[in-house]
Amino acid sequence: MNPLDQTRAPIYEALEQFRKMRVVPFDVPGHKRGRGNPELTKLLGETCVGMDVNSMKPLDNLCHPVSVIREAEELAAGAFGAAHAFLMVGGTTSAVQSMVLSVVKRGEKIILPRNVHRSVMGALVLCGAVPVYVNPECDERLGIPLGMKVSEVERAIRANPDAKAVLVNNPTYYGICSDLKSIVDLAHKNGMVCLADEAHGTHFYFHENLPVSAMAAGADLAAVSMHKSGGSLTQSSLLLAGPNISGGHVRQIINLTQTTSGSYLLLSSLDIARRNLALRGREEFQRVIQMAQYARQEINDIGGYYAFSKELVNGDSVYDFDVTKLSVNTLDIGLAGIEVYDLLRDEYDIQIEFGDLGNILAYLSIGDRPREIERLVGALSEVRRRFGKKGAALMKQEYIEPQVAASPQRAFYAPHRSLPLEETEGMVCSEFVMCYPPGIPILTPGERVTREIIDYIQYAKAKGCSMTGPEDPDITRLNVLQAWKEEPHGILV
């Protein structure tokens, strides 16, 4: 048997074989192939609940795979050009956190952009590493952060030669890509590993006209969100590793936090999705590229909207652009992105990925069809005609440079008190505040609360952004450190 025969799906095949055996279950899960929960069986179907099984010898074990899961991981590594691949059932959050925890520990530095997903900052809370931020440039018209400039990464490395790793978004939520290959080379030249949060870049591996993938660029670890553009079930993901990373060590880190009861529904979906992409990915993503390009042209022809693309590329802070991302700026029609997001859902039954203060993102992938594109374009035209305004004073800046006073771990676990939001100016936050999606924190533990941040939070709330993170679900109060004195030597770890 050829282990790199991409026509195979070993986990799915093992489940099919197991289903034919009619094994009597005296193990978990307790619904016993759905018989104990008929309502669930009616909802999901007998095939689904029948494959919701426990780890056993014929089906392998996710914590220490030796047979079908191991084969599926080898096939995934081959399909993505990695030395190792790990099937993840805790979402790309789990993959990102395992990636970070594999390379840095308490007190060690990691160089990264501030516009990272909350999972990265959560990893720093867990391990105690110290962030060194490379603040991105912003596009003034769009109000979005761009990529990491190579010169800024180099400056951060020179200032922090003891840093252990550099982390890059590949791409950002909006489709912006940094010069990943140059950043990888720079990190390696200085004895650091390079990590890529590739939650929104699964498709990069399957088409030559898309930005370079992390593994092709030589990155050491990459978290790949298969359920986003790859077609697997929600919460399933991959963690990829290059040849200079110990697969055994990464497995140990994964097993610190990942469940010992891996869902075979998620695992088999990863297996089948990988097979589909390996066999048909290029053809499918060529179709997605064409749909996205058509949609951009149609949306820009409406007037008022700006569906941006490769014209943003400047060879540095926007080194490349993911043309499958249908990102649209809405400010010129007098509506915040979140307002257009709400109107599309409430008035036209169209659910897009997210809306922020100035932009919306319609996520296109292998399951989309031209008829849905036409419906989206028509609805956007109607939104402009029915709800558009002129001269509305709208906030557009999406990135606020942080003032870091303590490591995320130190601030998260330090004694704190709850104060009304308006009274927290100048204090050090001990919790997260973010709009979700996209899940990029406005505040993380250890950052100082400024007037600009308070105004931003209040404006985002007023516009209807879904705010998450704080202990107070209404975001009227924030947890801040009880007592704080400035340290002469920088960030407290």
Name residue 177's beta-bridge partners: 320
Closest to 209 (Cα-Cα) out of 148, 275, 276, 285: 285
Q: What's the CA gap between 330 and 303, in Å, rounded?
A: 10
The structural domains of the chain, with segments of one domain joined by +, span 10-103+162-278, 281-387, 408-481
Domain 10-103+162-278 has CATH 3.40.640.10: yes
Strand 441-443: give its sheet, edge to edge: 441-443, 433-435, 467-468
Query: What does the pLDDT read at residue 493?
Result: 55
What is residue 437's predicted lDDT score, i.e. its pLDDT? 67
CATH architecture of the domain with residue range 408-481: Alpha-Beta Complex (3.90)
> Quick one: DSSP state of residue 250?
H
Token pair belonging to 305: 């909207």
Which two three-digit tokens encode residue 213? Answer: 């993938």
Distance between CA atoms of residues 411 and 360, nearest Å: 33
Query: For the whole model, what pTM was predicted?
Result: 0.93
Q: Which helix (H) or strand (E) holds 195?
A: strand 193-198
In the block, residue with structure tokens 């064409």: 290
What DSSP line would sit under 442-483, residue for residue?
EE-TTBBP-HHHHHHHHHHHHHT--EE-SSSTTSSEEEEESS
- Is residue 309 within 8 A of residue 137, CB to CB? The reply is no
Cβ-contact 85, 230 below 8 angstroms:
no
Peptide bond into 437 cis (omega under 30): yes
Quote the pLDDT of residue 468: 85
Under 8 Å between Cβ of 412 and 479 = no
CA dist 269 and 5 (Å) reads 18
User: Which tokens go with 92?
Assistant: 């790309």
- Region of 22 (left: φ > 0; alpha: ψ -120 to 50; beta: rest) is left
The residues that bridge with 303 in the sheet, in sequence order, are none
Q: Is 343 helix (H, G, I), strand (E, B) or coil?
A: helix
The CATH T-level fold of domain 281-387 is Aspartate Aminotransferase, domain 1 (3.90.1150)
Place of tokens 């252990």: 164
Residue 45 neighbours by CB under 8 Å, 6+ apart = none
Furthest C-alpha separation in the chain:
69
The rounded radius of gyration (Å) of the Cα atoms in the chain is 23
Q: How far apart are CA 68 and CA 55, in angstroms?
A: 11
Confirm if 343 and 378 have CB atoms less than 8 A apart: no
Please state, in angstroms and rounded to a whole number, the distance separating the CA atoms of residues 100 and 95: 9
What pLDDT score does 395 carry?
64
32, burial (CB in 10 Å: exposed 0-12, middle 13-18, buried 19+) = middle
Query: At a CB cut-off of 8 Å and minimum separation 6, what does 21 contact?
Result: none
Q: How far is CA 275 from the centre of its chain?
A: 22
Per-residue confidence in pLDDT tens, the chain, 493 aa: 455 899 999 999 999 999 888 888 888 899 998 899 999 999 999 999 999 999 898 999 999 999 999 999 999 999 999 999 999 999 999 999 999 999 999 999 999 998 899 999 999 999 999 999 998 888 888 988 899 999 999 999 999 999 999 999 999 999 999 999 999 999 999 999 999 999 999 999 999 999 999 999 999 999 999 999 999 999 999 999 999 999 999 999 999 999 999 999 999 999 999 999 999 999 999 999 999 999 999 999 999 999 999 999 999 999 999 999 999 999 999 999 999 999 999 999 999 999 988 999 999 999 999 999 999 999 999 999 999 998 556 665 666 888 999 999 999 999 999 999 999 999 999 999 987 667 788 899 999 999 999 998 998 888 888 888 889 988 899 999 986 554 434 455 5
Are the C-beta atoms of 23 and 32 separated by less than 8 Å? no
User: Are 10-103+162-278 and 408-481 equal in CATH topology?
Assistant: no
Encoded amino acid at 374, one letter = E
- 3-state SS, residue 434: strand
- The pLDDT of residue 486 is 47
In whole angstroms, how far apart are CA 181 and each of 177, 195, 211, 369, 431?
Answer: 11, 12, 11, 33, 34
**For residue 460, what pLDDT is reported?**
84
| pLDDT of 43 | 95
Measured between alpha carbons, how far is 174 from 376 in angstroms, rounded to an integer? 18
Q: Identify the sign of the CA torsion 128, 129, 130, 134.
A: negative
